[in-house]
Structures are given as C-alpha cells and as structure tokens.
Amino acid sequence: MNTSRRRFGLLLGALPLLAGLSACGFQLRSAGDYPFKTLYANFSTTSPLGVELRRNLLGTGRISLLIEPAQLATADAILDILSENREQVVVGVNASGQVRELQLRLRVKFRLRTPQGLNLIEPVELSQQRDLSFTETAALSKEIEQATMYRDMQTDIVQQIMRRLSAVKPRAAATAKP
C-alpha cells in the first residue's frame, strides 16, 4: 500500500512538468513527411555512407527505395550522391617533426532531382570536421578513435540529408530549373 502511494505521489508531482512541456511546444522528433513515395538511390549502397543512408531511408516506412536502373523511370525522385571525400590533414607537429594533431574531414555532395531532370535540391556540399590528437605510442587506439569520429561525422551528414529531403515541398518541383 505504501508503494502505491509513492507511485501516485510521483505521478502527481510529474503532472506539472508534463503540462509545462506540452505548453512550450515540445514534441519528439518524428520521421519527416516526404513529398515523394518512391526514391531511386543513385549512390553506392555498399559504401558506409550509402549503407547508413539506405537504412535511414527505409527506416522511415514512408519511402520505397528503388535501386535497380530499370526502375529509374518509375521513381518520383532521384537522390544522387555526387561525391564523398574523406580527408586527413596534419595540423600540428612537434619540434622533431612528429605528427601531434590531425584534422579529419568528411565532405559529401548530393542533389535531388526528378526523372525528368528538374532539380528539387540543387547540388549542395555538406561537410564535417573533427580534430584528433595523435601519439605514436597509442597508434592503434587513435586509429579506432579516428574510425569512430568518421562514423559520427557520417551520421551527422546522413541526418542533414534526411532533414533536407523532408523539407522539399511538392510545389518546388513546378518552379525548379534544370
């Protein structure tokens, strides 16, 4: 009986918090509303970026992803990944010339178009960069850290692409220029 009173008290105490969150417009992030039902994937579905992008597109449950070239004409839109570049730049060395700091960069250029050639999203380049300290004594752990940083940058870029895809308006297709 005592535990049920505690639960009731906690619930009663949480009500003002829940009411406050609903009053401020708080809303959980949901899958975007896309103006197209079928999307042709004109990108490598075997690259790490392609795998994650494909998983996110299929995970919406609202888009049918087409990957066969014969299906190109039946797609509502075509997503082209024009380039994907991973760079590693030395930004710091010590007095003896040994690398002490690296900058990791990931650049992805993409566009969204109709099968007729109208651009729904003009070619745009998204980029992410991270700094990584480096020591020769911990080379293996730094390699693992580097892979993790690239994966995080890739996830950020995929989320940006998904948000841009959901921001496309159907009327934009009528006014877009090839």
Three-state DSSP state, 123? strand
Are 155 and 52 a contacting pair, CB within 8 Å? Answer: yes
Mean pLDDT of the residues in the chain: 84
- Judge whether 143 lies within some domain: yes
How far apart CA 79 and CA 162 sit, in angstroms, is: 11
- Judge whether 166 lies within some domain: yes
- Judge whether 2 lies within some domain: no
Residue ranges of alpha helices (H) inside the chain are: 2-23, 48-59, 139-167, 172-175
Percent of the chain with pLDDT over 90: 48
172 pLDDT exceeds 90? no
Which pLDDT value is given to residue 42?
87
Cα 79–44–103 angle (5° rounding)?
95
Which pLDDT value is given to residue 154?
96
20 pLDDT exceeds 90? no
Q: Residue 17 half-sphere exposure, CB side, CA atoms within 13 Å?
A: 5
Q: Residue 68 half-sphere exposure, CB side, CA atoms within 13 Å?
A: 4
Which pLDDT value is given to residue 125?
97
Structure tokens at 33: 């509303």
CB atoms within 10 A of CB 25: 6
Q: How far apart, in Å, are the Cα atoms of 15 and each of 1, 7, 23, 28, 46?
A: 22, 12, 12, 18, 48
- Judge whether 38 lies within some domain: yes
Query: Which residues constitute the domain of residue 109?
Result: 30-175
Query: Looking at residue 130, which CATH number applies to its domain?
Result: 3.30.160.150
Three-state DSSP state, 110? strand
Q: How many domains does the chain have?
A: 1
Identify the top-confidence range among 5-19, 30-44, 160-174: 30-44
